[in-house]
Amino acid sequence: MSAPVLEFRQVVKRFGSVNAVDGVSFTIERGEIFTLLGPSGCGKTTTLRLVAGLEEPDGGEIFIAGKCVAAPARGLYLAPEKRHLGMVFQSYAIWPHLTVFENVAFPLRVRREANPMVRQRVDQALEVVGLGGFGERGATQLSGGQQQRVALARALVYQPEILLLDEPLSNLDAKLREQMRVEIRALQKKLGLTVLYVTHDQAEAMTLSDRIAVVNRGRFVQVGTPEEVYERPLTEFAASFLGRMVSFTGIVRRNSAAYVIEFADASRCALGDHVPNSCTDGGAVQLQTRPEDIAILADGALESHQLSAAVEQVAYLGESFEYHVCAHGVSFVLTAAKKHRYQAGDKIRLALDPARLKIGPV
């Protein structure tokens, strides 16, 4: 088996008393899009800069294609220009006084490559990002999305071992961002690129990635496919950072074979045998669910796995409605198709899906 394209072993990077990267280990395989997803300040950019060689780690080891590029304990550190990486930053710097062609050619000029080779590589890179024939234009004559593609072409032009993308779409408007996501994914598949992608945008991470690392305070709290991290979050942080969670608390009542959760107002919700062993009879319990797993039903007699709720506010989103509802003192937002029409003040029932509830002690 060939070595992973990138490997971190217990990598640490400190800035004063801040552990920006706090003992991180992971590998990226060839042809994979691996995304670091986390809030601002969690250490994403620092991780990318460590890969690129723009920062030196304080501890651990970094390997690119099986070759050690940084190992402070052994005094080992390979300079950025020897690492064969391409990088695109959030604020993609396009040189306004240069043509599109010369912007893309820049990394090759720095490396003093021969002219015919430069022409061939640049034309190829522009073709790949859909800007064939734009070479002689001034870079600032292009739209935001086209300038972003120039930055991508420039990162691709010397066929990097790994493409490093740091929030490359965050300066684009929402529509263009969605379009570029799809384009980057298609390009990555077509060229078999290995990409380390950074974003704080959950939807971007979900649509682009083969695997996602959820990052919090310099640590990887979970690594998995988009589906794994969304459907089976390992921590409260991962659950709330990827999508929303609604949680209710109640008391477990054991009723022969089945469990029932009793709420403060004495209403009950039956959960069959989905209650884990760690929840004892009479103990406080927390129910957590994704809002999209809750169905809205019109007012009526409560059945098992249902809660009564009230509509507090309604927002019309064009293709759907957003209902701000309150159940058992917990307020949250549900999206519903237009065929459901409720108004502020309406009493409704919410049907929980026992198979999709996370149940645990408080």
Of 146 and 148, which has the nearer Cβ to Mg ion? 148
The sheet carrying 268-272 orders its strands as 268-272, 258-262, 246-255, 284-289, 358-361
Cβ pair 61, 71 in contact under 8 A: yes
Q: Which is nearer to ligand ADP, 6 or 108 (CB)?
A: 6
Cβ closest to ligand ADP, residue 39 vs residue 282: 39
User: Least distance in Å: CB of 333 to ligand ADP?
Assistant: 27
**Among ligand ADP, Mg ion, none, what binds residue 20 when CB lies within 5 to 8 Å by partner kind?**
ligand ADP
Contact 246, 326 (CB under 8 A): no
DSSP 209-222: -SEEEEEETTEEEE
| Residues that bind ligand ADP in the complex, under the rule CB under 6 A | 15, 18, 20, 38, 40-46
Reported as type and span, the H/E element at residue 241 is helix 236-241
Shortest distance (Å) from residue 22 CB to ligand ADP = 10
66 interface partner picked from ligand ADP, Mg ion, none, CB below 5 to 8 A per type: none
Q: Which is nearer to ligand ADP, 38 or 160 (CB)?
A: 38
Question: What string of DSSP letters covers 44-90?
Answer: HHHHHHHHHTSS--SEEEEEETTEEEEEGGGTEE--GGGS-EEEE-S
In this structure, which amino acid lies at residue 342?
A: Y
CB of residue 76 vs ligand ADP: minimum separation in angstroms?
22
Given ligand ADP, Mg ion, none, residue 43, with its beta carbon under 5 to 8 Å by kind, binds ligand ADP
Name the CA radius of gyration of the chain, rounded: 26
> Which two three-digit tokens encode residue 355?
């198979």
- Give 99's DSSP letter: B
Cβ 252 to ligand ADP shortest distance, Å:
40
CB of 37 to ligand ADP, least distance (A): 10
- By beta-carbon proximity to ligand ADP, the closer residue of 49 and 177 is 49
Residue nearest to Mg ion (CB): 45
What are the residues binding Mg ion (CB under 5 A)?
45
Residue 45 or 188 with smaller CB distance to Mg ion: 45
